[in-house]
Chains A and B, each alone.
Chain A
Amino acid sequence: MLPRELKPEQFSSYPREAKALAVENLAVLRELPLSFIPSLLHEVIEFDYKFPAERNALEREMAGLAHVSSAQRSELMQGFSAIRVSAKLEQFDWVNFPGQFVEQLSAHLWTTHQLDTFRLAATAYADRMRAAVPVKAPPVPRLGITVIGAGVESYGEPLFRKLRPHGAYFSNIAPENGLDILLTAVADRAKVHDSPYAHWYIDGGESAAHSPSLTTISYAALEPVRAALLRKMHAEIAKPGMGPEALRTTMAQLRPVDLGLGAPGNDVLDRFQVKLLTEGSGTQIFSTSFTQWAAREALRRAEPTTLLVRFAPRQRQKPMNELLSPDAGRAELDVVGSLIDADMGAYYNWLNQQRLPGAETAALLAWFEGHTSAVVIGPTVPRGTVSNKSTDMKQLLSWIV
């Protein structure tokens, strides 16, 4: 089927708000090329379970597409229209399974050497939309905090090497009560600038005591969910003919209730957590991978104004089948390896925060937990500087918040 043949009843299986959004924009959808529209529907079909920031972004994108003439829309889509799509893909039920279509389209783009063309089209489209539909800066400058190295007694190599050129490195901070001070600062911001899903705390282990006003995810709290997921993966893989693509499809269809989540009123966060485990790579087995991916996805999707990420030790590497076994037992930890993972994760948190509106006013603090070194980045912090001056966490925060 081609987009021009779309009818309202074809969205009947969409959740309520998603269906309304699609039907309301049907005239626009009909004019979009097949290489583009399933990516958009992949977002639309999840509309009811999206964070406020991404709902707003999707509505703005739809409005941006609707408010131009057909000729302008056609010109906007020129790059995508040039993509050759196979007859097999045309016949796929891309309305009801847009995510699977996108995966198959991706494979098609690789095999037909059209990936570079698609990348150029996507980049050009994003640039045009950004220019046409300006995004709003956050109500308060964003603050990112990354805490790394839990459980590491000493480490001789330099840390924060990738972050240091962007801010000031401190080597003599008082570590006492550091985490409490940071969590209090985050809670204070949540109190003053209250907004749904605006202030997050992600912990790679067990979460520390924190304000209930924070959106919180902890790897330890998800342990039963991970175990349920691993059991399902084992069961699926044992089925004859099961390959990686089929497994990925099965995992993508899992709902919170399938994994023991699904408390009333928690739909959005539950689905987010399930996606972290079913769509993330390595998130099921390594807490550092989970923490980095959770932070990345929280920033990309929820666009929080405050995000505190604390990495915890991950299990040591073992054979993959053993790592994925639901009966693996208590794992031996790799604290130094986890520190190295987290050091890179802190840099990625900064990069991902910089991709959001208001990047020029955003600030970041990264701290080696329980130790005296930290780096702070912000609009007023001199870049690439080092300080040996004795200071504490409150003072560090005061320079960037």
Chain B
Amino acid sequence: MKPFDQFGRDVSRSRREFLRDAAGVTFGSTLLRSPLARAAVVSKNRKVVVITFGGGARDQETFAPEGQGNVPNMMRGLIPRATFFTQVVNHGILGHYVATASLATGAYETINNFAGLPPENPTVFEYYRKELKRPSSDTWVVAPSNGFNHIGESSHRSFGPGLGARVILPKHLLTAAMGSGPADYQHLLRDNYETPYYTPELSGGEVELEQLENLLKLSVADFKTHARTLSSPDELSVYIAKQLMRQVAPSLLWITMHDIDIAHAGTYSLYVEGIRRTDQLCAEVWKTIETEPEYSGKTTLLILPDFGRDSDEDAGGNGFQHHRTGDPLSRTTWLIAMGPGIREGVVYDRPVDSLDLVPTIGSMMGFSASLSKGRPITEIV
């Protein structure tokens, strides 16, 4: 077995070579530090949108040569305009809720992945709101409903209740809107591929049905009509996120995707289909950022998977199906950062820790993530 560091370097090298050929990008390590790179100064008006490329995706289905056909929008549309980090390592627990919670707190959470508990460390939303005295309407999370309803607010005694993000669970919203006529919408309610029967009771700050009209300016009838045109839960999430951006325009918006996790069912075709759909949805969010006046020209978009999936070579796993071995491929992912002040078409292959996300957002928006264990990613702040 290769030492982890060596494996990481190999992974990084293969991605870097590919990206240089395909997108004509430049290595960050070859650039001199430019004053322009520091132009992304903290701004009161600055907004940040985070997308977790949900469910875990591997190199060979995304940025490796054989996977490039699955992510055409990111390859051709986003990466040439972004700074790309080839090696983002998650040293924590590889379960989707706990890993997403770790991304949101900047500390490796150890909460039970299936217990529906809040993170133990303060979230990025709490840091932002407490330090900058922002209202709850300025931070939102759009998330799949399998236990993510607590992702916006920690149980930390110095932060916690009243300081978190507002959480919207589109599937929960749709379930409420459907009433007794669910037949046309069941395909949008797919959930919990790893533990299909686990559906925790929902409670907390999720949007109630009446807020559909007041907040998102959507009638139940319009919502249901549009939902009928969608084909997956993540499409529903992005539809809600775009509506939220138009009507509420939060400064810090976190969108968690999950379609890709169908891989747990062992069907390669559905896994790849999930990647292709997520790629398209990321491009849609960027397009919205560029076209919505509240976001255009002042928004940073950060896209990263929560983690990868097991490699084909590890006999302890079953390839793409799970993320249980903890092997280097399942821990190593990537990060796309784009927006004003961020270099375009640049690739960095130095290792970045998943925990670095929160302090990086803190540096961008002007707050301190004091209890986070990560460090700001200097190349993009």
Contact = CB atoms under 8 A, between A and B. Distances in A.
- State whether these chains interact: yes
Interface of A: 110-111, 113, 115-116, 119-120, 122-123, 161, 233, 237, 242-245, 247, 280-283, 285-286, 288-289, 292-293, 296, 314, 317-324, 334, 336-341, 343-345, 347-348, 351, 355
B353 interface: no
Contacts of A321: 196-197
A122 B316 CA distance: 10
18 contacts: A110-B326, A113-B91, A116-B326, A119-B325, A119-B326, A120-B1, A243-B198, A244-B197, A282-B321, A288-B267, A289-B265, A289-B266, A292-B318, A293-B266, A293-B318, A336-B269, A340-B268, A351-B313
Contacts of A323: 196
Interface stretch (B185-193, B203-211, B220-228, B337-345): B185-193
Contact of A341 (B91, B115, B269, B325): B269
Contacts of B322: 281
Contacts of A122: 316
Contacts of B272: 340
Contacts of B269: 334, 336-341
B108 interface: yes
B312 A351 contact: yes
B78 to A, nearest CB: 25
B265 A324 contact: no
Contact of B66 (A161, A233, A318, A341): A161
A289 B114 contact: no
Q: How large is the interface on B (under 10, 10 to 19, 20 to 34, 35 or more residues)?
A: 35 or more
A233 B266 contact: no
B256 to A, nearest CB: 18
Contact of B110 (A111, A314, A319, A355): A111
A288 B265 CA distance: 10
Interface in B21-63: none
A321 B189 CA distance: 10
A292 B322 CA distance: 14
Contacts of B270: 317, 337
B66 A320 contact: no
Contact of A319 (B186, B194, B267): B186
B262 A317 contact: yes
B4 A116 contact: yes
Nearest to A288: B267
Interface string B252-270: 0000000000101111111
B198 A286 contact: no
Interface of B: 1, 4, 66, 91-95, 108, 110, 114-115, 186-187, 189-198, 262, 264-270, 272-273, 312-313, 315-316, 318-322, 325-327
A390 to B, nearest CB: 30
Contacts of A322: 186
Contact of A289 (B94, B195, B267, B273): B267
A245 B198 CA distance: 10
A300 B114 CA distance: 30
A288 B266 contact: yes
Given A233-B197, A343-B268, A348-B318, 9 more contacts: A113-B92, A122-B316, A237-B197, A247-B197, A281-B194, A289-B267, A317-B270, A341-B268, A351-B313
Nearest to B233: A319
Contacts of A119: 325-327
B373 to A, nearest CB: 12
Contacts of B325: 119
Contacts of B94: 110
B186 A318 contact: yes
Nearest to A352: B315
A116 B327 CA distance: 8
Contacts of A115: 326
A167 to B, nearest CB: 17
A244 B114 contact: yes
A247 B196 CA distance: 11
Contacts of A345: 268
Contact of B189 (A244, A280, A319, A348): A319
